[in-house]
Structure 1
């Protein structure tokens, strides 16, 4: 299977972190990609503040205010303590965080967690699983070995069967644990843990209701099925239609990463085009942002314009605003998830073992831009 852009970014960050600095041409060789691809990756990561770039080279940022846990590499070791934290040597609280990625969606979750840890005078230690759930347990045990007294855990689940296959160990961890952006099966051992999640069903309802109020019928859903968020968006779509008394115009269009499965992605785009051209639907919700931008570009080449012919809303709001036509998007409260989960963990560490567990659900927002401004339809 080809490596995804997110996985490549994590490898690039890891290389720079290990070396302190590196030439872009050397990174291209180490990553096994073209210099053009390496420069593009570096520009994106530098734009997010994850790297410093100067004269053909990149370096690991040294901004103490942002803190190294905001700029993680692929977590083979703990992040250095922020300037304001005392670390284990100074007797400060140490929190461990397992995340499936350090880029895209989880970059903001990590940022929120780091900010909250710094405010609490704690050190945040980060490890990344690269969406390999079979490695989650080992990496989490590494956090405990590094001195973590409490844990923030976002397992690298992708398939529906992953929680059952790679989740039971979480309930028996010897330290207080808070799940992030993961909803285990009701009644399972993991369901009894503290957790902080975005309410993706509510986010989908916001999108569908907005499109209907613009005069459209039920929108189509084009979505992946390779992450807990994708699964939640799919189930939320069915719930939203039921709440609004609508029927899906056709089955969900299955999407895949275009860089990994270009033929299947093309097939999905053409299915969406066919639905528009035949009048089946005049609006669509697309998960995720990257797919949505690529969908809009390909639709334009196939003669379908957004928003003139199709009103479109993306889900995630990571890069939606950067499209040629800025995309209306559902924005899960990613940074707030990290912040509230860390605050809950710190509070938990200061409580007695009998204190009630909590499930905290945060509501996404709809950020309206140009892509849903298609003409009203009767």
Structure 2
């Protein structure tokens, strides 16, 4: 039978008072409880002023955490049992490829420059894997988390994501946001303002004289914000609305036997639907320009559009969204580029600042930071 929480915390307090300092991971093993459970206890005890906590090390009140050397500044990690490595920052992302490669790179540069270490967990967009990876990183000693949950719309769905606000360490959402009233809305977050990015593209195309502009994007965590910004810009600029995006048809049963086959079929159907939509929008809907998300879709679509009689850019001017490979197209494409590297860097800096504030007994206001994308115009 597990000891009552009060008894467990009393045991932790007795050990810390006896030894002066102790590492959370070591105490968890000694007491036979999970690091996540012990971290929750430590947070509660620190909030009550019973112990001091800093970067995975706890100490009795009035002592230098983890035997800090005289003159070492609190919160720097100097002289701790981790040595020069400082705190460990856990980062949960869907992938380290394509879009998130730069996000992770930006975070790593800031983390390492400030004497900390970055540990990454990948979810591959698998359901439930966010929580699994977060718990794994916490169990191995992460002092804070940079978290990109697998929320299909970029925001939590009904009944989704409340656990992110209950984590026992400071957490920053990266390229995700939660609406007011959701528990995760209380977390720090750093994200690209994709709505602004879409609006920048529309504004540029309107300045070139285009009156009817289309948006072509499959369903991604980015697409909802793109649609919001796109629609707002069309309305603000008084442009003519493009034909409505086609409703998603029923999935074919040809590949129902395997999840991988179904996903592949769904992607092929989405691509074909986008191609049909753009061809009809130009031929029948008077559309002369389009914002296409993403670059890879645009590069694949353009030769197929031309094969069906839609010339690019003569009949359809194209701006892509993401700017990962837009300049590598046969004719380099203008593109909107979210500040991916800076998002990772700002998120890491925000989290490290939060850890230092906590170590110093401060608790500043939570922050929601949106970074504006950049439009690169290519001839």
Matched residue, 2:212:
218
Report the alpha carbon displacement of residue 341 of structure 1 after superposing the two structures with TM: 0.4
Decide whether the 8 Å contact of 1:134 with 1:166 is kept in 2.
Answer: no
Q: Which residue of 2 aligns with 1:41?
A: none
Give the match for residue 273 of structure 2. Answer: 267
User: Cα–Cα, structure 1 residues 103 and 138, in superposed 2: closer, same or farther, change >3 Å?
Assistant: same
Q: Answer with 1 or 2: which has the greater Rg.
A: 2
CA distance in 1, matches of 2:154, 2:226: 14
Partner of 1:121: 115
287 and 347 in structure 1: CA distance in 2 versus 1, 3 angstrom threshold: same
Q: Distance in 2 between matches of 1:242 and 1:206?
A: 14
Give 1:164 shift: 3.5
**Pair 1:314-2:320 in alignment:** yes
Structure 2, unmatched stretches of 5+, are 1-79, 250-262
Partners of 2:111 and 2:81 lie apart in 1 by: 12
Aligned-pair CA distance for 1:188:
1.3
Q: Which runs of 5+ in 1 are unaligned?
A: 1-85, 371-378
Cα deviation, residue 268, structure 1: 2.2
Given that 1:132 and 1:157 are in contact with CA atoms closer than 8 Å, whether structure 2 keeps it comes out as: no
Higher relative contact order (CA 8 A, sep 6+): 2
Aligned partners of 1:87 and 1:113: how far apart in 2?
Answer: 24
Residue aligned with 2:103, SS: helix
Answer yes or no: is the 8 Å Cα contact 1:224–1:254 preserved in 2: no
Structure 2: distance between partners of 1:142 and 1:90: 23
**Residue of 292, 295, 299 corresponding to 1:289:** 295
For each residue in 1:308-352, what CA deviation from the matched residue of structure 2 results, as whole angstroms up to 9, or x when unmatched?
A: 111011111111111111111110000000000000111010114
The 3-state SS of whatever aligns with 2:128 is helix
Aligned pairs for 1:312-351 (under 5 A) are 312-351=318-357
Q: Quick check: 95-104 or 258-267, which moved more?
A: 258-267
Gap change, CA 1:253 and 1:221, over 3 Å in 2? farther
**Conservation of the 8 A alpha-carbon contact between 1:253 and 1:272:** no
Q: TM-score, normalised to structure 2's length?
A: 0.70
| Alpha-carbon separation, structure 2, partners of 1:306 and 1:182 | 34
Output the aligned Cα RMSD. 2.3
The farther-off stretch of 101-110 and 346-355 is: 346-355
In structure 2, relative to structure 1, the CA distance for the partners of 1:87 and 1:363 (3 Å cut) is farther
Runs of 4+ aligned residues of structure 1 deviating over 6 Å after TM superposition are 254-259
Which of 174, 177, 182 pairs up with 1:180? 174
Shift of 1:263: 3.9
User: Per-residue deviation at 1:369?
Assistant: 1.4
